[in-house]
Structure 1
Amino acid sequence: MPSVIPTAALIIPLLIGGLLLRFRPLVALTVITLLTGSYVVSDWNTERPATGFVVALGAAAWIVLAGAKVRSSLGVQGTRGETMLIELRTTLTAQGELPRLPSGWRAEMAIRPAGGASFSGDFVVSTTRGDEVLEVALVDVSGKGIDAGTRALLLSGAFGGLLGVVPIEEFLPAANHYLRRQDWDDDFATVVHVAVNLTTGDFEVRTAGHPPAILFDSWSGRWQTRDADGPLLGLMEAPEFEVNRGLLKQGDALFLYSDGMVETPRRDIGLGTDRLAGHAERLVAQGFKGAADELVEEIGGPGDDSAIVLIHRQMHPSELVVPSCQAQPTHRRLRSALMRSLGTAGHAH
C-alpha cells in the first residue's frame, strides 16, 4: 500500500530491532527487511530511484548490525550498554568525593577530561582514618579519553580499597605491586599521595613520578614545592618512595595536581607550576573558596586530562571574611592583626 505506508518505513523495524533484539535474531530481521524492500522496489517503474533506495536500506542495515555486534561482544543489548557506561562513570565520580572534614578544614577537588570526554585518566581516592588523618591520592593513568578511563576505573577501585587499610608508608608500594600484576605492556600511572593530621596539621607527601605538591604559607606569603622523589608505578619491582614532611598552619593550603595543569608541549613544567601558583595567589583573599573549579577551567590544558585537589586549613571564622576594599594582601593583614593582639596582651601583663 504505497499510498498509505511509504517504502522508507522499512527502516523503522531495523532501528527497533537494533535496540531490542540480540544479534542473531537481528540478522534474520535484517535479511527479511532487505528481501521485502527488494520485492517492493521490483514493482516500481523506471522513473523511481529503486537502486538508491536499496543502497540506503542496506547502509542502514549495516549500521544497525555493526552497533549490535559491539553490544553483543559485551553481552548486553539495546541501550543497556550505554546505561552501564553511565553507571560506571557515576561510580568513578562517587569514589573521588572527598570526605567531610572537621571544623577548620576544607577540601576541594575538580577534574576535567581532555576534549570534553566523559571519562578521564585522572582520578582521586580519599579517606579518613578515624577523625584524625586525611589521606588523599591523586592518580594520573597513562593515555587519554576512554582508553585511560577504563584503566582509571579499574585502578580507582583497587587504590580506594588500599587507602586507609594499609599503613600510610606502604600505600605506594602496594599500589605498585597491584599495577605490576596487571601485566600491562607500556602503561603506567603517576600518583601523589598525602596524609594530613587534622589535629596537628602535620602532613606527609609521597609521589610516584608525579608533579610535586605545592604548599602556600599564609604567614610568609610564599609558595613552596614539596618534592618527594619516586619512580612511576608499574615499571619497577620494588621501588622506594621518599617522604616530604611539613606542617599546615592556620591559613596554609596544600595543592595536589596532575601534569595536565602545568605541562604542555610548548611549556615547561616549571613554568606551568609558577603559572598555577600565580593564579592561585589571586584566590587567597576569598579563602580559596571555589579555587579547584576555577583553576581547572583557567589553567588546565585543553589537550590533556586536568585534575586538582586543594586542602586548606582555615583561619579563625571571624577572620575568614575580609573586605575586598583593603589593599594589603590577606596574609599580611592577618599577621598584623595577630601581632597587634599579642602586643596588646603584653602591655596588659
Structure 2
Amino acid sequence: MARQMSATVVLAGLSFLVGAGLLTWPEWLTPASLLFVVLLGVFVLRVRAMAVLSAVVVGQVVGLQLAGFTQFAPGDLILLGAGVLAAVAFVRSRDRLGLQGAASDLMLVDLRDRLVAHGRIPPLPPRWRVDSVVRSAYAEAFSGDFVVASRSRSGNLLEIVLVDVSGKGQDAGVRSLLLSGAFGGLLGTMPPERFLPAANRYLLAQDWPEGFATAIHLAVRLDTGEFTVSTAGHPPAVQLHAGSGLIQVLATNPGPALGIVASPVFGAHHGTLAPGDTVMLYTDGLVETPGADVELGIDRLMGEAERFVATRSGGADAVLDGVRAGDTDDRALILVHRD
C-alpha cells in the first residue's frame, strides 16, 4: 500500500509538471504528453491507484480548459479520454492476478515455463528418440495442447500423454496449466490402463463450464518395443513400419473425451515398435479443416510423415510445416522413434 501511494503521488506530481509544461513550452509538449504519465501508471499501479491517477489527469485537463489557460482541440480530448479508459480497463483486468506491473508479467512467464517443463521428455536409453513440437494458435504464449511424459523407476517404461483442452490459445492456457500439473502427477503412479479413467475423474471433479479435453496415452516398453496406445476422443495414432514401408492408422475403439461421461470405457491398441519404426501422435489442429473430411487431413499428415520421417530427412517441425494447417488452432505433434 505504501509503494502504491508513493507511486501515485510521484505520477500525479509528474502530471502537474506536464500540465505546467503545456503552458510554458507549448511547442515542446502537447496534450498527448499526459498519456505518457497514464502509460507509466499502467506499468506500476493497481486499479484503485490507477483510478486516482486518471482522475487527477482528467481533472487537470478540465481545470486548464475551464480556466482558459489553454484550449484543447476536440481530437486531443477524445484521444486522451480513450487512452485513460483503456488504461484503467487494462489495469482492472490484470488486477485479478493480485499483482501489478512487471511482477504479473514475470508470473505469467513462470507459468508458461512450467507448462513447457511438464512436457519435457525424460532421458532415454540409446536407440530411442522422441521428437515433439507444440505451437499455439496465432503464436500466443499459451496453448490448449500440451504434453506430459514420465519414465518408470526401472527405466523400462516410457509414458507420453498428448492432451487437447477445449478452447485454444490463452483461453485454454489456464486449464492446460492446471491439467498438465495434475496429469503429470498421475502419470507413472498407476498402471497405464488406469491413467485415462483417473484423468477423466479429475476433470469431472473440476466442474468447468467448458471442461472437456481429448487425450491420447502411449506406453512403450523400452526393452522390448511393445507399446499400448489409448485414446479419449482424440485422433488415432499412426505407426510407420520401417521394414515394410507401411504407414498404419492404429484403431483403438476410442472412448469419449475426458470430462463428459462418468464411467467411460477406453479401448487400447497393442503393438510393437521394431527397430526403425516410429509412432506418431498429434492433435486435431493438424488434420481438421472447416468443411473438409478429417480423414483427408489424416491422409495428408501421413503423406508428410512418409516424406520426412520415413526418409529421415526431417522431424516433427518439418512434418508440421508440411501439413500447412495454418495458425488458427493449436497444433502438437510427437514422434517416438526406435532406431
TM range (shorter): 0.7 to 0.9
Is 1:104 the counterpart of 2:112 in the alignment? no
* Bigger mean CA offset, 151-160 vs 71-80: 71-80
* Partner residue of 1:30 out of 27, 30, 54: 54
Deviation of residue 246 (structure 1)? 0.6
Residue in 2 aligned with 1:196? 220
Distance 1:114 1:72, change over 3 A: closer
Residue in 1 aligned with 2:303? 278
TM-score, normalized by length of structure 2? 0.86
User: Matches of 2:132 and 2:77 in 1, distance apart?
Assistant: 54
Amino acid at match of 1:273: I
Deviation of residue 45 (structure 1)? 7.5
Deviation of residue 220 (structure 1)? 0.8
Distance 1:275 1:59, change over 3 A: closer
Map Cα deviations across residues 216-273 of structure 1 (whole Å, 9 max, x no partner). 1111110111111222111111111112111111111110111111221233222222
Map Cα deviations across residues 52-110 of structure 1 (whole Å, 9 max, x no partner). 43333322221221112112222111233332222211211121111221101111101
Residue in 2 aligned with 1:246? 271
Map Cα deviations across residues 33-58 of structure 1 (whole Å, 9 max, x no partner). 22222222345579x54444333332
Root-mean-square deviation (CA), in Å? Answer: 2.0
User: Matches of 1:49 and 1:80 in 2, distance apart?
Assistant: 36
Q: Secondary structure at the match of 1:88?
A: helix
User: Matches of 2:82 and 2:104 in 1, distance apart?
Assistant: 23
Amino acid at match of 1:274: D
Structure 1: 5+ residue stretches without partners: 315-349
Deviation of residue 174 (structure 1)? 0.3
User: Matches of 1:73 and 1:250 in 2, distance apart?
Assistant: 52
Amino acid at match of 1:3: T
1:89-168 map, 5 Å:
89-130=112-153, 131-168=155-192
Is 1:211 the counterpart of 2:235 in the alignment? yes
Deviation of residue 285 (structure 1)? 5.6
Contact 1:10 1:37 in 2 (8 A): no
* Partner residue of 2:294 out of 256, 265, 269: 269
How many pairs does the alignment contain?
A: 312
Contact 2:212 2:259 in 1 (8 A): yes
User: Matches of 1:241 and 1:132 in 2, distance apart?
Assistant: 24
Larger radius of gyration: 1
Contact 1:111 1:296 in 2 (8 A): no
Distance 1:31 1:156, change over 3 A: same
Map Cα deviations across residues 182-210 of structure 1 (whole Å, 9 max, x no partner). 11234311111010011100001111111
Contact 1:214 1:256 in 2 (8 A): yes
Contact 1:139 1:190 in 2 (8 A): yes
User: Matches of 1:41 and 1:66 in 2, distance apart?
Assistant: 25
Q: Quote the sequence identity (%).
A: 45
Residue in 2 aligned with 1:294? 318
Residue in 2 aligned with 1:222? 246
User: Matches of 1:53 and 1:271 in 2, distance apart?
Assistant: 55
1:325-344 map, 5 Å:
none
Is 1:3 the counterpart of 2:28 in the alignment? no
Map Cα deviations across residues 127-171 of structure 1 (whole Å, 9 max, x no partner). 101321110001111112212222111111111111111211100
